[in-house]
Amino acid sequence: MQTVSENACFGGVQGVYSHTSDACGCDMTFGLYLPPAAKDGPVPVLWYLSGLTCTHENAMTKAAAQGFAAEAGMAVVFPDTSPRGDTVADDEAYDLGKGAAFYVNATQDPWAPHFKMWDYVAEELPALLGAEFAVDLDRQAITGHSMGGHGALTLAMAHQGRFASVSALAPIANPSQSNWGRKQLGAYLGDDETTWAKHDATVQMQAVGFDGPVLVDQGGSDQFLDLLKPEALSHAMAARRQDGVFRMQKGYDHSYFFVSTFIPDHIAFHADALGL
């Protein structure tokens, strides 16, 4: 692992690190905010998964999460959204390939050799964090925006007991029924739609739900509402009587202005679930 940068931030450290990933078969970069409390011992971890076209840097610099995380005493991890490098397959479209890995393990060519973001986020990166930093992996929560909201919800429901809580900001909520999903899941996983099910938050909410609290915020003026399909997830949560809250926020769009407005609520939500 290499240190790319470390900056003092709200009494803690905002770092950027790179390492060779076995899961993705390339070098990967991630951001990690450690609060002041990490100087005294391991702290709980909040995962923040970013959306289409993003890298580790977008949320790290635009979400305004660090000050609230410092108050709560939790670390925040900002993984990249996809593998990178000259040998990694890509596509001319912004919504496939680099920056658009959808947090799945690809099984189809040309994506399969590198696009293993499910394993990277669920297994490899947590192991690295636990070995190198003062983080408590017995106390984790997860959140994300857009494609990252999709990833947060599906990872949480697939790993019951790992995360104390899950939240999402404008998630791609029903990708198997959306053009933001059918294209990508078909490309990465193939035509057998039964293999898509664990990567659709609405389908998983209907099937298994989540064993902790859920918070979802959706902008009412989001320019991508028809692609996100938030109503499907909301209905699934209600039908399951899921412990959670779905909020439609009038006037807000899909941007980081929306994210930064509601990130304090999400960090407080996770802090409460983690007992902070």
State the number of CA atoms in the 13 A half-sphere of 177 facing the CB.
14
Closest C-alpha to 168, from 133, 135, 204: 204
Say which of 145, 150, 254, 266 is annotated catalytic: 254
- Alpha carbon distance 89, 100 (integer Å): 11
- Alpha carbon distance 48, 59 (integer Å): 8
- Please tell me what DSSP assigns to residue 157: H
Active site residue 165: no
Nearby residues of 40 by Cβ (< 8 Å), 6 or more positions away:
none
Nearby residues of 167 by Cβ (< 8 Å), 6 or more positions away:
141, 142, 143, 152, 214, 215, 216, 217, 266, 269, 270
Active site residue 222: yes
Active site residue 254: yes
Say which of 50, 200, 222, 234 is annotated catalytic: 222
Q: Give the sheet arrangement for strand 135-144, strand by strand.
A: 2-9, 12-21, 26-34, 75-79, 43-49, 135-144, 163-169, 214-219, 244-249
Say which of 50, 82, 146, 165 is annotated catalytic: 146
- Where in the sequence numbering do the catalytic residues fall? 146, 222, 254
